[in-house]
Structure 1
Amino acid sequence: MRLRVLDGRWLSLLVLLAGQVVFTVYYVVVVAPLKPPLAPRPLDPGVNFVETPLTNVSTGHRPLSPPIPLSLFQLDRRKFFLGLNSSDCFLPGTELDFSKRIGRCQCQQGWHGQDCGLPEVILRAFMTAKYTEPPKLRRQPRRVICIIKWSSDTLTEILLSELEVVVDLFILDRKPDAKINKEKVLVLKSTDWAFIKTQLADLRYDDLVLSVADSEIPNPKALLFLKFYNGWPYEPITFRMRWSVFGFFWLHPQLTVLAGRVCSVGTLARNFKDNLKLMRASNEVLVVGDLNHFGGWKCQLCMDSAEDILREAQASKDKSWNLDGRRLDAEYVSDLVGQGLWMDGKMQLLRASPSREQDYFAPATVRNGNFGHLLHNFYEMNTY
């Protein structure tokens, strides 16, 4: 009788175990896959990371062997600051001689803050956005990677020269003939960011990616602030640029245009899936620049000759020019430039004033370099 009781207990135990096994298998195979996957943990800005050199899925390209370390291009922070007593003065915005005499940071006109690191154009952007948090100086400056859409060697030379002090690496999809510091230029067969990431080592999530055409020159003062300081309301950031046509001597009637975009590597990955087109199309942006303090310069159709303007116009997809069915040759383009007419032959451009606009008339590289054809209208009959 005792043996039968034990056999019954063992049988019950075996039935329970078998039931648990069946339930577990059913849960794993049927129920569990129906649960939605956990959302990915958001990226924390400022985290250091190194890109894994794997084949890029969207392009099929393999990285350079080995990937180029960005640390080779990083600027030395000490070259931008002067220590005075217990303060560090930001050199681009500091009246150096006077500051040394008084023992503290004295800002140049158009610069603000205790260390003179806040340019007027950024201050006004913060005021417009009603952002009141004080900026904080970074211990390690961000690297700025500038991706350029090429159209002209002259414009590329101007852009690279104007931003050389702040940009750590320029990326183009063709080798420019311009006179530039080629040590900071990387020529790749694609300017797709998902591909570019595979070519660079030691990227950081708070490094900055700047996407521009070579006709779009962001204000380097604004980029210096973004490079050395933490604290702005949101990103991406775009620039309200002075809108020139044919040269800096003519202004578009709208005066300004929003152009160029910059955001952090982390935001580009998290919010835009590493897609520069999505980043450039975003409407939620911080605008740097206004009608009195430009966030940069847009010089549309600013070419070396009427023939170059003609080629650019013929290749353009801008339907507002209404070029269909009209005579279009170098002589016609020369007349447009001389008279200050838009490509439609109707809209009158505005004459710019170098004396009134001063530093905002054109980038320093143009004002101080050999770019007279972009400063003076050689096609205007009454000029010479």
Structure 2
Amino acid sequence: MGRSHMSVRIRIRRHKVFLLCLLGICVISFLHYYKALHNISLLQELSSSSTHLKTLKMFSGIFWSFTASDFPSQQDLYKHSYLKARTYSNVILPDPPDGKLHERTFVLHDDSTPFFIHTKSGALCFREGTDMAASTSHRRLLQHHKKKNSSKDDTINAGEKVVQCPCRQGWHGPHCGIPTVVYHSNLPSKLKVTPRKVPRRVINAININHEFDLLHARFHELADAVDVFLVCESNFTAYGQSRPLYFRHMILNGTFDYIKHKILYIFLDHFPDGGHADGWIADDYLRTYLTKNGMSRVQGLKADDVFLIDDADEIPARDGILFLKLYDGWTEPVGIHMRKSLYGFYWRQFGTLNILSACTVDMLFKVYKGDGILLRRRTYYSLSGFREYENSSGRILIPWAIGSPIHYAGWHCSWCFKPEGIYYKLISAQNGDFPRWGDYGEKRDIRYIKGLIRTGGWFDGSVPNYPPTDPKEHMYAPKYILDNYKKYQYLLENPYAKEKH
């Protein structure tokens, strides 16, 4: 009887253990499924009225494979990821059959675009900057002038004076290829520059976090001036927390198909030593890795190609970069005067942001040792290779800047996000540049952030008196953003201007 009782107890214990294990597996599966739903932003599908077919599709997507359309939109990213500030595991989309994105190389080729043309009068003119209708009447005047001059020498001299291109507004010089932002710059040799027979190739390097609207604006602004965009993304924020590879997904799901042929994707898969304690180490390392990894994968470089490095919220105007591409005779390094804005283009700050942003590939490697962060600093003259490079080039290296304090040559739109995007920027910021406002709970409050956008105030409580702006003013915002006014209205008009305190 005792033995029978004992065997029953053992069987009951075994059943309990089995049931507990089964329950544990169910809980773990549910949590894994719940996390996956959050990660691909499908909770809305569950909460909305959906058909059984949608639910079936949702389950199959989770347990089998993720397609490009499953990746969350930018709005979903703001709603689920930025607001909740949690760490999500990456939804990995497979690399294309032709190789891993972050291991590809890019081969530079000469740009065969006919930027300049020879007119019938014999002048070499920049197509875009020349008034072709005026050129015809100009040619008639030249022919009349030739008839009046009998001496051959006189005709040549007269021709040298008369055979010039009639320029459209905004373009200057005998070839009509010098844009206003260069004509009014402090470039000493601006009246002596000459068109190149073969354009330089331009390499634009950028780090990206979540500035995707500004990234679209950059690509459209510089599409025909830049030959390759080096875009670096990390699976860590500048603060050292893990983050999904949003940009990688957008490349693979077709978001950037219009410019994909000019993108070289760079993946930073580690956080630098010391970056947690000193945020400036992390901030510098992003640009160092971007340059060194990116340039090592670009093939066919020439010494006089242009290297241009920006932050994601700094967008150079196309005309100034095109000038660097098409002309000889400018010196280096090159800065860019940018219009300064906060939260949106409607809060224009006084003055310009002048950042050293460009140099030749030759200078990048011989002076800056291939490190983009050194270009951003203004200590080039103290670097070991500066004098040697200056002597070998036979030129006096004088820094200059495209544009001027009153002639904008680009846009710096700082903190230009919707409130949820500003929240994410706060928590992603490096552990430096103190006070780090993301460490203060009240500063992360969405209602507080909306108040800052409404007034143009700053996190320290100050409210500067910004000058009034109008979307119709010159250089208000990049053309692509203005052309898509409704889509980017939150950057062009203050969305909270009419709200009361």
* TM-score band w.r.t. shorter chain: 0.7 to 0.9
Aligned position for 1:250: 347
CA separation of 1:129/1:90 partners in 2, compared to 1, >3 Å: closer, same or farther?
closer
Give yes or no for the alignment of 1:149 onto 2:207: yes
Q: Pick from 124, 142, 145 the counterpart of residue 88 of structure 1.
A: 124
Deviation at 1:322, TM superposition (A): 5.5
Map 1:304-319 to 2 at 5 A. 305-317=418-430, 318-319=433-434
Aligned position for 1:70: 108
Aligned equivalents of 1:320, 1:288: Cα separation in 2? 33
Aligned position for 2:264: 186
Aligned position for 1:239: 336
Aligned equivalents of 2:103, 2:492: Cα separation in 1? 41
Deviation at 1:325, TM superposition (A): 4.4
Map 1:286-305 to 2 at 5 A. 286-303=400-417, 305=418
Aligned equivalents of 2:165, 2:362: Cα separation in 1? 34
Aligned position for 1:10: none
Aligned equivalents of 1:320, 1:92: Cα separation in 2? 47
SS at match of 1:189: strand
SS at match of 2:166: coil
Aligned position for 1:359: 474
Residue deviations 1:125-170 (CA, integer Å, cap 9, x gap): 2xx3544651111111000011111131111111111111200111
Q: Is contact 2:292–2:371 with CA below 8 Å preserved after alignment?
A: yes
Q: Is contact 1:342–1:349 with CA below 8 Å preserved after alignment?
A: no
SS at match of 2:416: coil
CA separation of 1:75/1:354 partners in 2, compared to 1, >3 Å: closer, same or farther?
farther
Deviation at 1:184, TM superposition (A): 1.0
Map 1:159-170 to 2 at 5 A. 159-170=218-229
CA separation of 1:372/1:95 partners in 2, compared to 1, >3 Å: closer, same or farther?
farther
Q: Is contact 2:232–2:290 with CA below 8 Å preserved after alignment?
A: no
Residue deviations 1:241-289 (CA, integer Å, cap 9, x gap): 110011100022x432123611111001111111111111124632222
Deviation at 1:226, TM superposition (A): 0.5
Aligned position for 1:212: 310
Give the letter aligned to residue 175 of structure 2.
D
Residue deviations 1:158-187 (CA, integer Å, cap 9, x gap): 111111120011111233635442111111
Aligned position for 2:458: 342
SS at match of 1:358: coil
Aligned position for 1:41: none
Q: Pick from 114, 123, 127 the counterpart of residue 174 of structure 2.
A: 114
Residue deviations 1:219-240 (CA, integer Å, cap 9, x gap): 21111110000011x3111111
Aligned position for 1:229: 327
Give yes or no for the alignment of 1:97 onto 2:155: no
Aligned position for 1:280: 376
CA separation of 1:364/1:96 partners in 2, compared to 1, >3 Å: closer, same or farther?
farther
Aligned equivalents of 1:133, 1:289: Cα separation in 2? 15
Aligned position for 2:198: 140
Q: Is contact 2:347–2:469 with CA below 8 Å preserved after alignment?
A: no
Taking every aligned residue pair, what percent have the same amino acid on both sides? 28
TM-score for both structures, normalised by structure 2: 0.58
Aligned equivalents of 2:103, 2:477: Cα separation in 1? 38
Residue deviations 1:323-377 (CA, integer Å, cap 9, x gap): 654612111000110112123231325144226x722111111211232211111
Q: CA RMSD in A?
A: 2.4
Aligned equivalents of 2:426, 2:261: Cα separation in 1? 32
CA separation of 1:129/1:335 partners in 2, compared to 1, >3 Å: closer, same or farther?
same
Give yes or no for the alignment of 1:123 onto 2:183: yes
SS at match of 1:188: strand
Aligned equivalents of 2:191, 2:476: Cα separation in 1? 31
Aligned equivalents of 1:96, 1:70: Cα separation in 2? 32
Aligned equivalents of 1:361, 1:286: Cα separation in 2? 23
Deviation at 1:314, TM superposition (A): 2.9
Deviation at 1:76, TM superposition (A): 2.1
Q: Is contact 1:137–1:230 with CA below 8 Å preserved after alignment?
A: yes
SS at match of 1:319: coil
Deviation at 1:320, TM superposition (A): 6.0
Aligned equivalents of 2:183, 2:292: Cα separation in 1? 33
Residue deviations 1:27-66 (CA, integer Å, cap 9, x gap): xxxxxxxxxxxxxxxxxxxxxxxxxxxxxxxxxxxx957x
Aligned position for 1:52: none
Give yes or no for the alignment of 1:264 onto 2:357: no
SS at match of 1:147: strand
CA separation of 1:287/1:336 partners in 2, compared to 1, >3 Å: closer, same or farther?
same
Deviation at 1:101, TM superposition (A): 4.2
